[in-house]
Amino acid sequence: MSYNPYSLEGKTVFVTGASSGIGRSTAIECSKLGAKLIITGRNIERLQQTFERLEGEGHILVAGDLISKDDINSIIKQLSPLDGVVCNAGIPNTLPIQFIKDDVIQEVFGSNLISPIIITKELIKKKLLKSGSSIIFTSSIGHYRPTSGNSLYGTTKAAIEYFSKYVAKEMASKKIRCNSVHPGMVETPLIHRGNFTEAQLEEDAKRYPLKRFGRPEEIAWAIIYLLSDASSWVTGHSLVIDGGMTMR
C-alpha cells in the first residue's frame, strides 16, 4: 500500500444528499479512496444510480426525507459506528422577504439547518461517532455577501457554519472534529432550479477569478481532506472553495 494521508481506507462515511450533485460526487470519490459509504437522499432512483457508481463492497443505501423526524430516525437506526459524516443535503430558495410563507420557512430551515442539527445530536447521543471521527457540513459563500432574495437560504447557511463551530468545541474532548465547507457556485442541478436564466449563469461564471463555476468533485475533494487523517489537526474551520470569488 503506497503512502497516502488522504486515504479513507477502513473508514465508514455517512453522506446525506447523495442522490445528486455534490453529495453524489462526495460519495463516489470517497469510495475511490477506500471508504465504505452509507448514502441517503429522497429520490430512490437517483440514489440507486449513485450507489451503482460506488467502488468497492459493503456500501448501504437508505432513502428518506430529512424533513421527517420518522425518516431521520429510521435512517439512523441503520447506521453502524461512523468515522465520517457529511451533512450535505440542502435546498435553494430565492424569495423577497415580503413573499416568504410559513411553509417555505419550514422547508428551507428543515432541510438546510434543522435536519443536520438533529442528525448530529442523535449520532452523539447514540454514540455512533467513533473517537477520531470527522463531521462536515455543507454551507455556502452566499451569506458572506448577502444578496437580495437570499435571506432564508443565507440564514440557514450562516447558522450551520456556526453550529459546526459549537460541535467542534463540544466534541473536541472526544477527539471528534467538525468543519464546514463553503462552495461558490457549483455545476449541479441546484443552480439550474433557481430564478436565473442560462445566460445569467454564464455571465455570473465570468465574475469568478478562475472564470468558471466549480465542479462537484472539486468540493468532494475538499470534503475528503476534512474526512481524512490529513486534516487531523483541523477543527472548527470554515473551508472556502470558490475559485477565488471571496478573496480579499
Active-site residue list:
153
Cβ-Cβ contacts under 8 Å for 133 (sequence gap 6 or more): 82, 83, 84, 85, 176, 177
- Residue 116 touching ligand NAP (CB under 6 A): no
230 by DSSP, 3-state: which? Answer: helix
Beta strands 177-183; 82-87: pairing state = unpaired
Q: Considering only CA atoms, which of 33, 17, 30, 164 is closest in space to residue 92?
A: 17
Nearer to ligand NAP (CB atom), residue 52 or residue 57: 52
Question: Between residues 205 and 230, which has the closer beta carbon with respect to ligand NAP?
Answer: 205
Which of 84, 116, 154, 183 contacts ligand NAP by CB under 6 A?
A: 183
Q: Is 191 in the site for ligand NAP (CB under 6 A)?
A: yes
Amino acid at 132: G
Contact, 43 vs 19, CB < 8 A?
yes
84 forms part of the interface with ligand NAP (CB under 6 A): no
* 15 lines the binding site for ligand NAP (CB under 6 A): no
88 binds ligand NAP, rule: CB under 6 A: yes
Strand order of the β-sheet with 129-138 is: 60-61, 36-40, 12-16, 82-87, 129-138, 177-183, 238-241
Q: How far is the CB of 185 from ligand NAP (least distance, A)?
A: 4
24 burial (CB, 10 Å; 0-12 / 13-18 / 19+) is buried
Q: Is 138 in the site for ligand NAP (CB under 6 A)?
A: yes
Residues of span 208-247 touching ligand NAP by CB under 6 A: none
Q: Which is closer to ligand NAP, CB of 69 or CB of 175?
A: 69
Q: How far is the CB of 200 from ligand NAP (least distance, A)?
A: 14
Q: Rule CB under 6 A: which residues touch ligand NAP?
A: 17, 19-23, 41-43, 46, 65-67, 88-91, 111, 138, 140, 183, 185-186, 188-191
